[in-house]
Amino acid sequence: MLTKRIIPCLDVKDGKVVKGINFVGLKEVGDPVKLAQKYYEQGADELVFLDITATHEGRDTMIRVVRNVASSIYMPFTVGGGLKTIEDIKNVLRAGADKVSLNSAAVKDPKLIEQGARIFGNQCIVLAVDGKKRKDGTGWNVVIHGGRIDTGIDLLDWIQTAVSLGAGEILLTSMDTDGVKKGYDLEMLKAVRSVTHVPVIASGGCGSLEHFYEVFESDLADAALAASLFHYDELTIQDVKNDLKEKGIPVRL
């Protein structure tokens, strides 16, 4: 089993880190540069930065924050939110990001994945997918615009399409578990794992050390992402890694 990664996530709105439950009820929790430095010092394997409002006016703010974060840490850094064009991707990478996360824009224009992978390499293109279980329980649909729009697109079909176009990694968030702290959506992760060969990052619902262990012990993800647990100092990155190592899960200490 390859080394498993622990990834804190910074959801950023108007230059500040925020957190909510099921994508709503956002509360400000801190400064992105200070939090990024904290997680770097704690031994995070990577950092994900998502501009969750990504208004046109906020674009320059985001680039400035990305630049400030990138200059203060020395670990892989993924940036997403409102990236609609190759020029947007280029600007974020120039500001210091190592990878970009594409979500709503990729659903609307799948060629963005293909072009991005061709120009910058597959390893640079992360497909961020927000999935929500269908009411009839037959599977999951892709939701976009911060969970506000159900596209009606089947989650597994979309992931397979995106990987065939060049997505090199999947950041999979369950809308049903996001912020609830009852554990990752293991059922959805298992389904995704069965249809793709690229690395999968589990996101949405982590609330304890046991939840990290569950997702890795069953090899349903290559990395686990969490936010509020780390933001509110309920756990440190080192707490998680020490616990996983004791339980036989390979991590980088």
Q: How far apart are CA 162 and CA 246, in angstroms?
A: 36
Q: Would you call 98 a catalytic residue per the annotation?
A: no
Active site (annotated) includes residue 11: yes
CA distance 10 to 17: 6
Classify 136 in phi/psi space as left (phi over 0), alpha (psi -120 to 50) or beta: alpha
CB burial of 125-152 (b: ≥16 within 10 Å; e: otherwise) equals bbbbbbbbbeeeeeebbbbbebbeeebe
Single-letter code of the amino acid located at 77? F
Catalytically annotated residue among 11, 51, 88, 185: 11
Which among 88, 130, 178, 222 is annotated as catalytic? 130
* C-alpha closest to that of 224 among 4, 1, 2: 4
Residues tagged active-site: 11, 130
